[in-house]
Amino acid sequence: MMTDKIQLYEEQHIRTAWVEDEEEWYFSIVDVVGVLTEQPDIDGARNYWKVLKIRLKEEGNQLVTNCNQLKMKSPKDGKRYKTDVANTEQLLRIIQSIPSKKAEPFKMWLAQVGRERIEETIDPEFTKVENPIGVDENRKVAREGGAIAGNARKEIEDRTGQPVITSQNAKQLQNLVTGLIESVVDDEGI
């Protein structure tokens, strides 16, 4: 099963897909190329990727051969078309092939997307999406989320007679999330 989602990087859309069977994020290569090369439109990014793909193939780079395609919504007409996609590891290699001042900040953004997925896995309520605009709406959503989490905690504590949150398990959770992020950063050379 695939769930596609638009992620924002500096107010630019990056089409992404979470493939449940593989437990892997995939990113539209054309969207990422457009951000890194600061192409004004999708056609410019598509052409840049086409030329880069040819160059990588000529160099014998297996990365291009291993790229997948997924049906994603087109930013032009909203219809779904097969689009070249890359997982995080592949995308980091592609980023290294593109001279861009945005490369390092984009790598950090990728790590954040990974962290959010980990948080969604730990707390499924995190997957409920609202799109608040402005401080007041954000405050309202934050309060609602806090109330839901607080009520769930209280209910579990009432049922089990045990506290859910202790200094020990809160610290372990933070260490787990921090360790996973550091692992991704170290493995990918971010």
pLDDT in tens, 137-184: 777 777 776 677 666 667 767 777 777 666 665 566 566 556 666 666
Please name the residue that has the structure tokens 């609602």.
Answer: 144
* Total of domains in the chain: 1
Q: pTM for the complete prediction? A: 0.60
Read off the CATH number of the domain in which 78 is found: 3.10.260
pLDDT in tens, 80-101: 999 999 988 888 888 888 888 8
Return all residues near 33 (Cβ < 8 A) that are at least 6 apart.
Answer: 39, 45, 48, 49, 52, 94, 98
* Domain coverage including residue 55: 1-98
Q: Cα–Cα distance between 36 and 95 in angstroms, integer?
A: 8
* Burial of residue 24 (number of CB atoms within 10 Å: 0-12, 13-18, 19+): middle
Calculated CA dihedral for residues 6, 24, 64, 183, nearest 10 degrees: 110
Q: Which two tokens stand for residue 68?
A: 């997948």
